[in-house]
Amino acid sequence: MFNKVISHLLPYMPEKLVWLFSKRYIAGETITEAIEAARKLNEQQIEVTIDLLGEFISSLEQAEDNKNEYLQIIERFTSENIQGNFSLKPTMFGLLIDQEVCYRHLSEIIGKAAERNSFVRIDMEDSQCVDAELSLFKKLKKEFSGHVGLVVQAYLRRTLDDLTDFSKFPSNGHPLNFRLCKGIYVEPAQVAFKEYQEVRTHFLDDLEFMFQNKMFAGIATHDKFLVDESLKLIEKYQVSKSMYEFQMLYGVTPELRNSIVDAGHRMRVYVPFGKQWFNYSTRRLKENPKIASHIIKALFFRG
């Protein structure tokens, strides 16, 4: 109850106060700040995926602005030789307004990344977006082959069926590339598994299916149990290091992250930045009120 109260009060607190905890998890507001954060991670043998904050826009003018900003981001990061790629949310480009406009924007962005020999991952959003985003990915995969990937969410009841459907999809010489995460959006029980261990079980079922079907797996988790079980599956199927990596959020579980890197596994950190950090922070808190207790500690205790 305490966590829920704090999560609902936070959007009404001063932004400077909210920034006290947000700055650990967000690289900053500008491209320059994001580049600095990414370079520091690269120095630790960690690759990045760069994400401009913002989603669920209300106009196609915003979609156009977001597309242009992403083109600038790709230009800057690739020019400065940052070791990483890019993530984006289709609702930033008008998915829920005009799907064809959204497709054209993403095609231009991924085309730019392909020119720079880079890669763009399409984030999966809440259940109202899933069918449209799967369709969008299939269309873009045919066009850009090895330069585009997708996120799948283990807590959705449909995910293993979706992966089964994808196993029949032509790879065009490049393996299907998925980031597998637990999922964070609040969904009804008929759409998503709700029990903690149940989600863990389906995460591992999905990952095993990906390994069995030679799909590239971005193993996105901060759960040590899932890390350990994923390593067992990697050993069981003798998965090449070129066919998986671990992925984590910026600022989260750095000790676990470093232990994975030290063991010789590839790591990629999701680096969010942008002027929409306040909305991102408060929305994520509402989605996961358990974070509130960590925020209170961050406000009053250094480290």
CATH number of the domain that 123 lies in?
3.20.20.220
User: Is the pLDDT at 90 greater than 50, yes or no?
Assistant: yes
Q: Are residues 183 and 122 in the same domain?
A: yes
Is the separation of the CB atoms in 149 and 193 below 8 Å?
no
Query: The whole model's pTM is what?
Result: 0.91
Per-residue pLDDT, 303: 38
User: Is the pLDDT at 132 greater than 50, yes or no?
Assistant: yes
The identity of residue 50, as a single letter, is I
Q: CA 120, CA 148: separation in Å to the nearest integer?
A: 5
Q: Are residues 242 and 264 in the same domain?
A: yes
Per-residue pLDDT, 258: 97
Q: Are residues 230 and 96 in the same domain?
A: yes
- The tens digit of pLDDT for each residue in 229-258 reads 999 999 999 999 999 999 999 988 999 999
In this structure, what DSSP letter does residue 220 have?
E
- Cβ atoms within 10 Å, residue 125: 21
Q: Are residues 231 and 163 in the same domain?
A: yes
Q: Are residues 164 and 47 in the same domain?
A: yes
Q: Which of 169 and 18 is assigned the larger pLDDT?
A: 169
The residue-averaged pLDDT of 84-106 equals: 97
Per-residue pLDDT, 186: 85
Q: Are residues 245 and 289 in the same domain?
A: no
The residue-averaged pLDDT of 68-78 equals: 98
Which domain, by its residues, includes 153?
30-273
- The tens digit of pLDDT for each residue in 19-39 reads 777 788 899 999 999 999 999
Residue 68 CA, chain-centre distance (Å), reads 21
- Alpha helices per DSSP H over the chain: 2-9, 15-22, 31-43, 60-79, 99-115, 130-144, 159-166, 196-212, 224-236, 254-262, 277-287, 291-300
User: Is the pLDDT at 148 greater than 60, yes or no?
Assistant: yes
Q: Are residues 247 and 283 in the same domain?
A: no
User: Is the pLDDT at 292 greater than 90, yes or no?
Assistant: no
Instruction: Provide the domain count of the chain.
Output: 2
The residue-averaged pLDDT of 281-290 equals: 63
Per-residue pLDDT, 302: 43
Q: Are residues 70 and 19 in the same domain?
A: no
Helix (H) or strand (E) holding 84: strand 84-88
Q: Are residues 89 and 14 in the same domain?
A: no
User: Is the pLDDT at 290 greater than 90, yes or no?
Assistant: no
Q: Are residues 9 and 105 in the same domain?
A: no
Q: Are residues 181 and 245 in the same domain?
A: yes
Q: Are residues 108 and 129 in the same domain?
A: yes
User: Is the pLDDT at 14 greater than 90, yes or no?
Assistant: no
User: Is the pLDDT at 265 greater than 70, yes or no?
Assistant: yes
